[in-house]
Amino acid sequence: MVAATARLLQRQGMAATGLAEVLDAAGAPRGSLYHHFPRGKNQLVAEAVRFSSARITRAIEAAMATPRPLPEAIRAFAAFYENSLSTSGFRDGCPVATTALEASGLGATEVEAACAEAFAAWQEPIARRLVADGHSPDRAEELATFVIASLEGGLLLAQSARGMQPLHTVASNLAALLPPDTA
C-alpha cells in the first residue's frame, strides 16, 4: 500500500491521490487502511514519502560512493532522474517535490515534516563526499544544499519543458562549481 501510494504521489501528487485509488492500486481491502494507518491519509502519505526518499538516498549514496570525480557523481545522479523522466514520458519526476509543495501550502504538517526530512537526508551523502574531497564541514553542507536545490529545480524545469536540457545545464554547471577545493 505504501509503494502504491508512493507511485501515485510521484505522478500526481497528494491532492489528486484518493484513498480509493490507493486501495485499488494496492489491491487492499478498505479496512486495512485505518488498521495500518490510524491517522489516515496524511500518515499514509508521510510513510510513502519516507519510502520514496529512501530510494533516492540510496541512488545518491551509490553515485557518491564511487571513486569517480564528484562532477561525474553529480551527473550520474542527474542521469537517475533523467531515466525516470524518459521512461515515463516526463510524467514521473521527483517523487517528493509535488507532495512537499502541496503539504506546505495546505499545512499538512505530518507530510510536510516527512518531505523536509527527505530533502535533508539527500544532502547528507553529498556533504560527506564533499568533506572527503577536502571541503570544510560547513562549506560541504552549504554546497550539498546548493546541489540538491539546483538538481530539484533542474528536474522541475526539465519535466515542465518536456526536455532534458535544464537538467543537463544544472548538472554541468554544478560540475564546474565543484572541483575539490579546500579554500
How far is 59 from 56, CA to CA, in rounded Å?
5
> Cβ 35 to its own copies, closest distance in Å?
27
Q: Which three cell numbers stand for residue 96?
A: 517528493
**Contacts with its own copies in 46-105 (CB under 8 A)?**
90-94, 97-98, 100-102, 104-105
The SS3 assignment for 103 reads helix
Binder of its own copies out of 86, 87, 173, 179 (CB under 8 A): 173
Binder of its own copies out of 145, 175, 179, 180 (CB under 8 A): 145
Binder of its own copies out of 12, 21, 28, 121 (CB under 8 A): 12
The contacts of residue 104 (CB under 8 Å, 6+ apart) are: 112, 115
How far is 33 from 58, CA to CA, in rounded Å?
28
The SS3 assignment for 34 reads helix
**Residue 15 touches its own copies, criterion: CB under 8 A:** yes
The SS3 assignment for 53 reads helix
- Contacts with its own copies by CB under 8 A lie at 10-13, 15-16, 90-94, 97-98, 100-102, 104-107, 112, 115-116, 119-120, 142-143, 145-146, 148-154, 156-157, 159-162, 165-166, 169-170, 173, 177
